[in-house]
Amino acid sequence: MIDDARYARLVEAASAPYRAAGRFAWHFARGKLGGDPVFRALLQARLIPENARLLDLGCGQGLLAALLAAAASPRLAAYRGVELMASDVARAHLALGEDCGVQQGDIRSADFGVADAVVILDVLHYMSPQDQDKVLRRVRDALSAGGVLLLRVGDAAAGLPFRLGTWVDWTVALARGHGATRFHCRSVAQWRSALAALGFTVQAEPMSRGTPFANVLLSARLLQRS
């Protein structure tokens, strides 16, 4: 069990290296790790297996890698993060070192290698439905037997909380210089159907605690290789 005090210490330890990457990187790390429930949930529920080869797609400035290093559990066999934005990759390297495993790339085409666990947090809605399906197929092909995909999405069937989350995403994208962004969202039922068609068994867990949004974490396990 990770109580509030322990998690607060983990957040401070995970955020501290980002001082080397500037005030924005440090404040963003503290705010995101401390305020977004998904990071604590990944640790609390032990969703990432011990000794896993972890693939973190759309990893930003490497916050998950920093948190796992601070917690020292689970211990990973390997970590690899893929991030499109060069500025985020640069922050990761300044904070965590050039050998931290974060690399620049497009998850629609980057080499995934082999992984036991894949994490995708709030990324796929930036892509067309066709590209979403392409990435999910590539994830399936990269996962070992029994591997797990941890995918957080907004539930497009959730009404006002979903629309609020989309508005926040749009505002953040605009503020970071991405211009007007079009999102391609699905309901949780549609995500589950798409994953089931690829051979995953799926469990869904609300992942918006403490926020007004409609986020859901899908734990999708690949039981057998096709």
pLDDT of residue 170: 65
Starting at the earlier edge strand, list the strands of the sheet with 115-121.
Answer: 102-104, 78-83, 53-57, 115-121, 143-154, 215-222, 200-206
Is the per-residue pLDDT at 118 higher than 80?
yes
Mean of pLDDT over the chain:
92
What ranges do the domains of the chain cover? 4-222
Each residue's pLDDT tens digit, 173-182: 665 555 557 7
The DSSP result for 181-220, as a single string, is -------HHHHHHHHHHTTEEEEEEE--TTSSS-EEEEEE
Q: Average pLDDT for residues 191-211, to the nearest whole number? A: 94
Residues 6+ apart with CB under 8 A from 215: 38, 122, 152, 153, 154, 155, 165, 206, 207, 208
Is the per-residue pLDDT at 107 higher than 60?
yes
102-107 long-range contacts, Cβ below 8 Å, gap at least 24? 102/59, 102/61, 102/62, 102/65, 106/82, 107/57, 107/58, 107/82, 107/135, 107/138
Q: Average pLDDT for residues 141-150, to the nearest whole number? A: 96
Each residue's pLDDT tens digit, 36-66: 999 999 999 999 999 999 999 999 999 999 9
User: Under a CB-based contact definition with an 8 Å cutoff, are residues 184 and 127 in contact?
Assistant: yes
pLDDT of residue 223: 77
How long, in residues, is the chain? Answer: 226
CA 36 to chain centre: 11
pLDDT of residue 159: 85
Give, in words, the CATH class of 4-222.
Answer: alpha beta
Q: Average pLDDT for residues 92-105, to the nearest whole number? A: 98
**Cα gap 26→29, rounded to integer Å:** 5
